[in-house]
Structure 1
Amino acid sequence: MPIPSTMASEQDLLSTEIVNRGVESSGPNAGSLTFSVRVQRRLPDFLQSVNLKYVKLGYHHLINHAIYLATIPVLVLVFSAEVGSLSREELWKKLWDDGRYDLATVLGFFGVFVFTLSVYFMSRPRSIYLVDFACFQPNDDLKASKEQFIEVARKSGKFNEASLEFQKRILNSSGLGDETYIPKSVIMSTENTATMKEGRAEASMVMFGALDELFEKTRVRPKDVGVLVVNCSIFNPTPSLSAMIINHYKMRGNILSYNLGGMGCSAGIIAVDLARDILQANPNNYAVVVSTECVGYNWYPGSDRSMLVANCFFRMGCSAVLLSNRRRDYHRAKYRLEHVVRTHKGADDRSFRCVYQEEDEKGLKGLKISKDLIEIGGEALKTNITTLGPLVLPFSEQLLFFATLVSRHLFSGGGTSVLSLASRKRPYIPDFELAFEGFCVHAASKTVLDELQRNLELSEENMEASRMTLHRFGNTSSSSIWYELAYLEAKEKVKRGDRVWQLSFGSGFKCNSIVWRSMRRVRKPSRNPWLDCIEQYPHFCISYGYGRMKESKNIEINEEKRIGLTSFSVYMISHLKISDYKFDNMCQAALRDLDRTIVTILNQKLDDIKLLCDDVIHKKRLKVYRSVGL
């Protein structure tokens, strides 16, 4: 029986995920491993309904920056045609004769030439350099595993069993590891809610910790900073967080300070954009951008599930970035700012309310996250990358993308002609790997990263920094993109001339992109939040867990095989302690052989999976040992 078109289109927007619910403790199935199937909305195909006005906006930015380069060849051709018929001696003789008898013309031409050059260099935007940045790493006593997190919530007495079980399921499928950080106001407080005093203490700890490291690394005095921008979405005391920093470091009295609040996880890029605009109007200056979120102050002690999600994902973190427009910093800066593209969907009511702070039925304050977040975020992301594309993609990719887009709009009728059928095919997705060498996508959740990777057709290596940051530090809000860049630096993956794309999205709803170009090869820093654990990453269960296995191509997976495949993934993760190994390139290459093993597993019966697991673990362990020379 054919599926109706409306139902088919609805199914296209849904995706399923197998969730491990652990071992059944009671009932007829006691002692057996149980699973549940989660149905959720996918991100929409980013390029399925791209509005041409956003493509036009991207090309408008491109043309504004390229107009000078377009006129230079024309001037060269005109000059060459004028003097090409003269020999070198004839040219110098003509210039000398004209100069002797028409000195005013020569001086006038020289004056116009100098004036034109002066206007050009004075009117073009100043280069903005990223001198260095720092990410705060809390003390080990603030680490909390998923089990400890649930135990803290249980001891508070604020949550019933249904709420605890819901949080446990969210954590198990979140992509977070067991070494993320939560504040003392959550761990030690009997009320599990932060007061204003505790909120200030948490903000002071993370901000001053990041700034101390930044000033130490850059050897810049706090009094040398002319611009300070701080962003924190939830916690906004009076005096502001920026005033707390100025008071703590005794900064100068004429500093330009700004405090951004309520702007969500994408506020870090907004803060950098604001600092850039201020530096354009204030030459020879330093700007510091601080991005953080106070987790304890936003802790929700109620039972509304849409508000409990924020408790499970958000963790402590803070970044501090030093920007400069001084030419003398050209040689010591790490990156140069290339592009900033901002998208705001706040005019739409659904987008405006998809992440919303309010009180629940009992009057308890929390951050409510809508079920439509994935869909709304996809629309904002689609607009943002459509505008960014013409600025960064090579001409060949722009041509293919633009041609496909125009054909879809011209032949998008409802007929059954060849052109109409062609227009309904999946559009051409540009290869963003040709535009960027480094990817830092906001580590919101595993589901968001999976859907974004699928739609943009990014590789596991492209998503590595985001997945590892989510696993190690959790969702640190606006500072997560800087922990991801720190991961790339700790892995020494940033080379001279590389372009790094930082992409973030948050409440509003906003989606923002920023592009940096590396000024030099970045060696492993002496101060970095990843140094104590970088050898354990990329982690096996993140790179080669169920999310990677289910993407094997040309394999038909029915429900029975899905369960078997998930069993294999859980079994491998629990028995093969990959985190104990040194993950060099040879070891990673050995683990990629698992893809061939997956095909074999899917052809087995469920009863044979455990035996196959034992055999694979034995062979793989020996292969990994040999690869790393153990």
Structure 2
Amino acid sequence: MAVIGTTATTDVGTAGSRAKILVPDFHQSVKLKYVKLGYHYLISNLFSLSFIPLIIITLIHFFQTQNLNQLWLLHHHYNLIRMLTFTGFIVFAFTLCVHKRQRAVYLVDFSCFRPADHLKAPFHSFIQHSHLTGDFDDSSLDFQRKILLRSGLGDETFPEAMHYIPPRPSISAARCEAESVMFGALENLFVNTNLNPKEIGILVVNCSLFNPTPSLSSMIVNKYNLRSNIMSFNLGGMGCSAGVIAIDLARDLLRVQKDNTYAVVVSTENITQNWYFGNKKSMLIPNCLFRVGGSAVLLSNKSADRTRAKYKLVHVVRTHCGADDKAFRCVYQEEDALGKTGVSLSKDLMRIAGLSLKTNITTLGPLVLPVTQQLRFFANLVFSKISKSDAKIYIPDFKLAFDHFCIHAGGRAVIDELERNLDLLPVHVEPSRMTLHRFGNTSSSSIWYELAYIEAKGRVNKGNKVWQIAFGSGFKCNSAVWEAIHDVKPSPNGPWEDCIDKYPVKILA
């Protein structure tokens, strides 16, 4: 579980103050590393790219040949052996490029869990419940109240664990929460796609803090009587960015499969057993931000599914800073002085998050930015090096690479800082702000609620590129890039179906 974009904390910052810069100054973040990564990508694909001019030259010579006599003269001029050798080389190169091409992975559809209305918890109910539990002192209650008021959350989110007095943080209650979320999202997905669960060949489930035995993936196998040779994986302890990790794992498995098959990725978080009942400020923030939610995504490597799929997976870029001790411990589950378990945030959280984001962006940039942007950046960098001036480094415009942005709804500050540092427009961060307001921080599934929002607004057209970016404990920053195959319409019974007309709403500062 990763808590990003907090608005107030005494351990991480001054109580009542907004968290400062998540993203370091981008002018200092890219520089030469950006060029090195782009150069590495070019060299990695140089062998394939080198055949392009050869093929073009051959085609030009061929089409310049007006008739059979000229074609014969061409053969006579170069002699038959040389011509056959050259032609064979071109055929070999073309065949090699085709074989090196990786199998496409399609997103057929996805579904997000929408909790029942009776689970909604307005702010006053949240604070009243926290008071009635008797576990929080006045300072802690006031601290939580300040976070809620400045968090960007609305009054209609769903904190499952706080609906009982006294609380019931039992394994059975946690199982019930997991079943309702996972099965609710899956059943809606099966109905919308007309998918027989027996057709699923790969199942990946990620949940950071709740890992029972049998696993969550086994619960799904048992519930839907999935086939015995299914490739099943259960990812735990990987935080809010685990949804992209799960997609990456499913993509790799689909690409190496000899037979066409389906992969289902289920992303969720469980808060029933992870509600903190102590008074350490840095551990109280998850109580205020995290809410119930989950998603189920259907992926396919079948070429026939291109006609009905919504998106094609283009890139996945993963950044892990866990080799650094401070990064490893900046989001850390532990016990407080009284033995009460919670997720603690260190004072280095914002700096570490910024560094991981910087690395992720500089890796992703050469893969997605237009050539003009990359050349402009390179020219600016060379000029600054030659002149040894402190001129401002040119910031590539990521709006030219992406049409839609799904920024992990970890908190208001992370959205604010990404909007500012990447020079995004309000419409680009609207899905993240509205998801945070309506559903809270649903951990690894938040980027899917955001994409569902964009679809519900009718904004996804054929060829549009979507950038999903999420942060997680470890510390990790992961990105996924999707390309819309068709004009995308929202799926039935989506999470925004009953309220999309009310959004966007104005969020008070």
Give the conservation status (yes or no) of the 8 Å contact 1:46–1:379: no
Counterpart among 202, 205, 211 of residue 227 in structure 1: 202
What pairs with 1:177-196 in structure 2 (closer than 5 Å)? Answer: 177-183=154-160, 185-190=161-166, 192-196=167-171
Question: What residue in structure 1 maps to residue 308 of structure 2?
Answer: 332
What pairs with 1:310-349 in structure 2 (closer than 5 Å)? Answer: 310-349=286-325
Paired residue total: 496
Give the conservation status (yes or no) of the 8 Å contact 1:58–1:388: no
SS of structure 1 residue aligned to 2:414 = helix
Change (3 A) 1:404 1:509: farther
Which whole-Å deviations, capped at 9, do the CAs of 1:180-209 have from their partners, x for residues lacking one?
0111x431141x351111111111110010
Is 1:268–2:243 an aligned residue pair?
A: yes
Asked which structure has the greater CA Rg, the reply is 1
Counterpart among 162, 169, 181 of residue 146 in structure 2: 169
TM-score normalised by structure 2 residue count: 0.91
SS of structure 2 residue aligned to 1:144 = coil
Question: Alpha-carbon deviation of 1:430?
Answer: 1.4
- Which has the bigger relative contact order, CA under 8 A and spacing at least 6? 2
Question: Alpha-carbon deviation of 1:350?
Answer: 1.2
Is 1:493–2:470 an aligned residue pair?
A: no
SS of structure 1 residue aligned to 2:212 = coil
- For 1:474, give the aligned amino acid: G
Question: What residue in structure 1 maps to residue 376 of structure 2?
Answer: 400
- Equivalent pairs: percent with the same residue? 54
Distance in 2 of aligned mates of 1:62 and 1:201: 50
Give the conservation status (yes or no) of the 8 Å contact 1:351–1:509: yes
Change (3 A) 1:82 1:93: closer
Change (3 A) 1:75 1:18: closer
Is 1:128–2:128 an aligned residue pair?
A: no
What pairs with 1:99-498 in structure 2 (closer than 5 Å)? Answer: 117-183=94-160, 185-190=161-166, 192-283=167-258, 284-407=260-383, 410=385, 419-420=387-388, 422-423=389-390, 425-498=391-464
TM-score normalised by structure 1 residue count: 0.74
Question: Alpha-carbon deviation of 1:168?
Answer: 0.4
Change (3 A) 1:462 1:82: closer
Give the conservation status (yes or no) of the 8 Å contact 2:37–2:366: no
Distance in 2 of aligned mates of 1:273 and 1:322: 13
What pairs with 1:35-54 in structure 2 (closer than 5 Å)? Answer: 38=17, 40-43=19-22, 44-50=24-30, 52-53=32-33
Give the conservation status (yes or no) of the 8 Å contact 1:231–1:271: yes
- For 1:516, give the aligned amino acid: W
Q: Which runs of 5+ in 1 are unaligned?
A: 1-14, 20-35, 412-418, 547-630
- For 2:247, give the aligned amino acid: V
Change (3 A) 1:511 1:491: same
Change (3 A) 1:91 1:458: same
Give the conservation status (yes or no) of the 8 Å contact 1:266–1:512: yes
Give the conservation status (yes or no) of the 8 Å contact 1:186–1:194: no
Query: RMSD across aligned C-alpha pairs, in angstroms?
Result: 2.7
Is 1:72–2:47 an aligned residue pair?
A: no
SS of structure 2 residue aligned to 1:515 = strand
Question: Alpha-carbon deviation of 1:380?
Answer: 0.7
Distance in 2 of aligned mates of 1:502 and 1:66: 28
Distance in 1 of aligned mates of 2:38 and 2:236: 28
Question: What residue in structure 2 maps to residue 91 of structure 1?
Answer: 70
Which whole-Å deviations, capped at 9, do the CAs of 1:545-601 have from their partners, x for residues lacking one?
43xxxxxxxxxxxxxxxxxxxxxxxxxxxxxxxxxxxxxxxxxxxxxxxxxxxxxxx
Question: Alpha-carbon deviation of 1:454?
Answer: 1.1
Change (3 A) 1:199 1:124: same
Change (3 A) 1:50 1:207: same
Give the conservation status (yes or no) of the 8 Å contact 2:216–2:234: yes
- For 1:180, give the aligned amino acid: T
Change (3 A) 1:266 1:37: closer
Give the conservation status (yes or no) of the 8 Å contact 1:504–1:513: yes
Which whole-Å deviations, capped at 9, do the CAs of 1:370-396 have from their partners, x for residues lacking one?
233222111111111111111111122
Give the conservation status (yes or no) of the 8 Å contact 1:83–1:91: no
SS of structure 1 residue aligned to 2:333 = strand
Distance in 1 of aligned mates of 2:19 and 2:307: 49
SS of structure 2 residue aligned to 1:268 = helix
- For 1:304, give the aligned amino acid: K
Give the conservation status (yes or no) of the 8 Å contact 2:16–2:147: no
Give the conservation status (yes or no) of the 8 Å contact 1:193–1:299: no
- For 1:302, give the aligned amino acid: G
